[in-house]
Structures are given as structure tokens and as C-alpha cells.
Amino acid sequence: MDLFSYPLSITVLSPRLLRHRTAARAGGGFWAEKASTSVNDGPCLRRQSNASRVLASLFFSLAFIGWGGLDAAQTITAAAGSAETTAQPSENQFAFEAQIQQSLAKVRDASVGFGGGSGVVISPDGFVLTVAHVANLPGSRHRVTFPDGRRVTATILGACDDLDIAVAKIDRPGDYPHVAIERIDVPQVGQWIITLGYPVSFAHGQPAAVRVGRVLQNQQHAFISDCPIMGGDSGGPVFDIRGNLLGVSSRCQDRIHFNVHIPLTKFFTYWQQLCSGQQLALFHDGTMRPRRPPWDAGLEPRKSVRIETPFPAALEQASQYTAARSAVPDLQARKGRQRLPPGRSDAQYLREFDAAKQAALHATAKIFLAERALCSGTLLIDPTTTRPQRYVVTKASLLGTNAIDWQANQVTVLLAEHSQPIAAEMLGVDHDIDLAVFLVQGSEMADDGTTQDSEAGDRTGEVMVSQSSPSPAAGTPVICVRDDGRCLVGFVAAEPRSFAMRQPPLVAGRAMLGVSVTPVQRGVQVTHVISGTGAEQAGLREGDILQTADERPLRSADDLISLVAQRNVGSTLEVRRLRDETVETLQVTLGKYIVDSASRPGYDNWGGGPFSDRRFEIPHVLAHDTAIAPEDCGRPLVDSRGNIVGVNIARALRAVSYALPINDVWQAVSRMQQM
């Protein structure tokens, strides 16, 4: 059966047969999902009508067709690797990817930008779930922006800072895109989830960014996942793999795999309080009450709104669950960092990408300048010319700035399965997209795609990379293989687009003294010394006055900055210091420029670094959530079928890495060929 058409091929199984099949497969493989745990004692909250039972049978039959552990016998050809391999993605992986797309089509329109964060609409009349630290006080109004660009305003009905939950209602009557809630499940450890939101750089009014991961841990009032989130994602919805709402995103730690979400059970349990128009607090007995007594005159500085309405879910017996228990009952406080499971980097799941990993390795090249390794690149083959040409492309800013050496034909590239580097010629640099292109020399290619190099002997099995490949959809899994062979898995966050982020000053290769100064009458006075720098090692302290540097008078901070900018890392700077009316000459060794935590951009405060030096103002990129390192840039980004979908160009933010779409790369190569 064609697994990409499986939504149209439905086998009806009775609930009893489904239970037997579920029991037979429970714990029987990576794709087996644990039974959902409800806020009540039952498996989940859902309608019990005969019609819903039939629909549930159809849906779960559909799921088991996709997740049924079918043997994979078909081979996949890698886009730029060995021609055939049996280590291909399984039928399960194909069905998994198709299910993600089906779920996104159902829920993405209801994921909205909300004020400075995100939210999710859960009813046609416009009830919105978000988090308290985005919502602010009851009665405050926020702009709600739908993915199609439509804007409305909403009023906060109630918020609880202790749980970080809030409810709002769109002011204007209407029939809004929304998520229909038919069940309320407690997330289970190991369960696959989808998060949507608008992290920093993702503009409201466009489809929300997609992240896919797994639940790693349940806490008393939250659950942890490895779906990377950051500022702007707060309040964004979290769904299970079938599109059922599980909760909203709240906050994160510096660790990239530690992301905190609030379960839907909390909104359900405290729904009436959250619609009361009051600022709420969670008390020690588990009850939620107004933070201050009603006789406090300053309780409601804004005009609050109170609405009495049942929880907007299609649950026939919802009244039975008004005293629903916590997602995890009364967990003991944990001390220190807890070891979390591997999540989406689980070795068993990574085996689904064996073919893709081989394709990535075959398409990866190492670039050398005079026998010195510079960086990695991606091998591309152009079959449209009379004699197919091979190119290696990489991130230009990783090469340094000495273009004279590039033109001197000292550049060589080491291709996969070659024992010796091959000479390469610099074809050009596109500074707008930070891409450098090298033409590999001394190769001829036969009609069947076999490559022969005079320097390295025969190499068989190279396959051309398409110059007109469709961009992968949001939610598509992708991988990048690191220099040590480790495979990093991520998911496409959005279709290719531009991001309005200003590029911070470039620091790669810059020398650094390690002080902040302010002008005074007799020079410049040190106001701050950065720990671990040459300035600290030379004995400079706050309050010292620097009178000269390399015998040049210092009258301002700019005088010192311009002198340091002319020096290389490791060189020395002679400074004359005045301290307690004593003048002393010091030799200060300049170190590599580092960004002090006090001066780093605000969007880096969510952690997830280090980041690329040149990372923004690239006009058209494919965003994905793979936590690559800056040195991984230039390497190919590959989907599960082994297709090269892009070239990694920047580690941008905690939740975002950028790749140049493969079509854009080919267009740049074509422009350089014509120059």
C-alpha cells in the first residue's frame, strides 16, 4: 500500500480487535505509543456516542496501518551518496511523517500570535489559551494575529502566575479558526508531540513555527520535552501526534532539551476561576482563589470581564471532571539536575535515518588551504553541462578574509571515499547569502554517473543532486551529520522565508583587550575588566587610568578600540597605566574576542549557544530546529529519504538554525558560472 495515500485507505476494526492489537504491540517497538492517561481514571475524556466510537475505530485503524511495523523491502537512492542501500527509512517513518502533515493541516490555523507571545484559539467564538507571563493582568487587552494576517483584540479573563496559565476572549463576535477539544489526556513520557509558536524572528501573521519532539518528564504542574522553544513561544499550543491539544508552552532552561509546557488539564480543572476576571493564586491546599481579597480597593486596576461558561470541549459528561486530579499527583521535590531520556535523539529512532546519514556523508567535503583544514562543505554535481561539473559550497565567513590565497589555487577539497585532497578553484562568493563556491578540478564523469579522478582513482555511485527540488514542508524531519559522525535530528520549522533580524557586529577573528573604559582628564579609566582576558592577566583593575597604548595618547574609548582592531589575536599591546599616582608600563596579550554576558543580545538570553558569527540578514532561508554547532555550517541538510534539501548556513537562535534551500544554492552557482 502507498503509505502517503493511507488516509484514503481505511480498514474498519472493531474496538475489541483494536484492544487485542494494541495489547499485542504494547512495548513492542519504538513506534508503540503508551496508552493515554486521563485526568480521571478512564483512558481519556471523549464522547461516548456510537458515532464517535465508529470514528475512533476508523482513526485508530488508520494509525495502526501506519504504525504496524511493516517490513521494509524497498531500497532508497541517496541524493548524493552511494546509489543503493537497504538501510532505508521504514514504513513506520513514512506514516509518521504523513501523520505530522495531517495534524498540522488540522490545527495550524488556530495557532495565533498573542501580544508578545503565542496562543491557541479553542472555540469558534474566540476563547484563547495562553500563559500568565504573556497575558499580564485581567482586563488587559492584547492583539491576536491569525496566520493569514487577520488581527483582532482579546481581553484577559483571568490569569494565575503560580501555574503560568491564562484565558482570554476575543472581543469581536465571529466564527474563528479553532482547535476542537474532544479529549483531555495527560502527556506520557516518550510520547511524540508537536509545538507551535512564534519564537523570536518569526513574525506574527504567518504560519507558526513547528517543532517536533518527545515528552521527557512529567512534573506536578508541567511536563518537559525536547521540542526547543524560546522567547515568543510562550503560550503556543502543544499537540500530540494526532493533533489533540495537550497544553501550552511556558519556559525553557539553557539546556536545549529542557523545555517546559503546562498541561491542558490545568486549564480544564480551573476553568471557572480563569474566567472570573481576577488575578489568581494557587494555594497550598490545591485550590485556586483570588490573589488578594475582594475588599482590597486596588485589586482590579483595569476593568475586568467575568464570563460564566463551561469549558469549550465536546465532552458529554464534562461536569463529572470538575475536580480532576493533577497531571502527576504530589511529586516529591527534586534536587539538582535530573538525567532526562534521549528523546528524539534516541538511537532506535536514529536508525530510521541510516540511508540519510550515508547520503549526508557522501555529500560532505573538507576544505583545505595550504594543508590547513578550514571548514566543511557540501558536494554538488551539475549534470546539465556537457561534462558534468562538481562544486563544493560552504559558508563563506568560515573561510576567513584572505581572498588572495583562494585565488592562488592553494585550495583543495577532500571528498568522501577519496584518500587525497583534490585541487579546487574559487568560483566566487555571494556575500548576501554568505556562500562560497569552489569548482573541483581534474574530474570527468561518465554517462552513468561514475566519476573518475586522476588524483584519487575511480569512484562509483555518485548521484546527481536535483537543481529543482521542492522545499520540504514544515514538520519534515531532517538530519545533519557532524564531523565526528554523530547524527543530529531536527524538524523543518517553516517553509523558506526571510527573517527581519539585525546582524550583530561580527567578532570572528577579532582581537580583544578585555576592558571597558570611559574618558577622564588624564586618559581613559577602566570601568570593567572581563574575567579570563589578557587585561585581567596583566593586572588591570577597575579604576586604573590608561594613558597611552603603543605610545599613542588615549583620549576616548574609540582611540583604544581602533588600536586593538589593527592587531591580531595573540599579539601584545603596550599600555601605560596610572594607579595611585604611580605610572607603570604593561605588556598585555590580546585574546580572541568573546561576548560578555552583560553585552550579548537579548535574544541570546534563552541559551542554546554558541551561535554563528554571521547569522542574520540572509534574505531567504529554510529554518529548522536542529541544534547544530557553528562549525557544522556548510554541511548538507538531508531529509529521511536522503535528499539534500539545503546547506546549513547559520546557527541562529536557541530554537532555530538556518539552511540555504538547495534551489537557492544552485541559483547562486549558476550566477557565478556566468560571471
What's the pLDDT tens digit per position in 61-114? 333 333 333 232 222 222 333 333 335 678 889 999 999 999 999 999 999 999
| Residue 206, pLDDT above cutoff 60 | yes
Count of C-beta atoms within a 10 Å radius of residue 90: 18
Residue type, 157: L
Closest CA to 386 of 447, 441, 442: 447
Terminal-to-terminal C-alpha distance of the chain: 49
Do 413 and 450 sit in the same domain of this protein?
A: yes
One domain for residues 541 and 448: no
The confidence band for 449, taking pLDDT boundaries of 50, 70 and 90, is very low
Residue 570 is assigned to a structural domain of this protein: yes
Q: Calculate the dihedral angle through the C-alpha atoms of 651, 655, 660, 663, rounding to the nearest 10 degrees.
A: 160
Are residue 475 and residue 359 in the same domain, yes or no? Answer: yes
Give the CATH number for residue 551.
Answer: 2.30.42.10
Average pLDDT of the segment spanning 500-515: 71
Helix (H, G, I), strand (E, B) or coil at 405: helix
Q: Count the neighbouring beta carbons within 10 Å of the beta carbon of residue 451.
A: 20
Does residue 65 share a domain with residue 24?
A: yes
pLDDT, tens digit, 9 for 90 and up, residues 240-270: 999 999 999 999 988 889 999 999 999 999 9
Domain match, 546 and 574 both: yes
Question: Quick check: 621 and 496 in contact, CB under 8 A?
Answer: yes
Same domain, 147 and 184: yes
Alpha carbon of 66 to those of 97, 177, 295, 418: distances in Å?
Answer: 10, 28, 59, 40
Q: Which residues pair with 436 in a beta bridge?
A: 394, 429
- Whether 92 is covered by a domain: the verdict is no
Most confident option among 505-519, 581-595, 653-667: 653-667
- The Cα 643–Cα 478 span in angstroms is 10
Whether residue 451 is contained in a domain is answered as yes
What is the per-residue pLDDT for 377? 96
Domain count along the chain = 4
pLDDT band at 19 (very low <50, low <70, confident <90, very high): very low
Domain end among 565, 591, 617: 591
Per-residue confidence (pLDDT) for residue 507, from 0 to 100? 59
- Residue 318 covered by a domain: no
Which cell numbers in the block locate residue 204? 506574527
The CATH code of the domain that includes 230 is 2.40.10.120
Determine the Cα–Cα distance for residues 48 and 45; give it in Å rounded to an integer: 9
Question: What is the pLDDT averaged over residues 441-456?
Answer: 49
With beta carbons less than 8 A apart as the criterion, state whether 387 and 444 touch.
yes
- 360 and 399 in a single domain? The answer is yes
Q: What is the pTM of this model?
A: 0.74
Residue 141 shares a structural domain with residue 236: yes
Q: What are phi and psi of 409, to 5 degrees?
A: 60, 30
- Give the phi and the psi of residue 63 in degrees, each rounded to 5: -65, -40
Residues 491 and 544 in one domain: no
Instruction: List, in order, residues 6 or more apart from 602 with CB less than 8 Å away.
Output: none
- Do 528 and 429 lie in one domain? The reply is no
Q: Judge whether 510 lies within some domain.
A: no
- 3-class DSSP state of 208: coil
**Of residues 120 and 47, more confidently modeled:** 120
* 113 and 222 belong to one structural domain: yes
In angstroms, rounded to a whole number, what is the distance separating the alpha carbons of residues 269 and 329?
14
Cell of 520: 577622564
Structure confidence by residue, pLDDT tens digits, 345-378? 999 999 999 999 999 999 999 999 877 888 999 9
What is the rounded CA–CA span in Å between residue 14 and residue 16? 5
Cis preceding-peptide flag for 610 (omega within 30 of 0):
yes
**Percentage of residues in the chain having pLDDT higher than 90:** 49
pLDDT in tens, 386-420: 677 899 999 998 887 554 456 555 789 999 878 88
Dist CA 281 CA 165 (whole Å): 11
Point out which residues pair with 141 in neighbouring strands.
Answer: 155
pLDDT at 58: 39
Domain assignment present for residue 113? The answer is: yes
- Do 376 and 404 fall within a single domain? yes
Q: What is the DSSP letter of 76?
A: B
101 found inside a domain: no
| Domain membership of residue 534 as a residue range | 517-591
SS3 141: strand
Give the least confident one: 53-67, 180-194, 362-376.
53-67
- Tell me whether residue 340 is in a domain: no
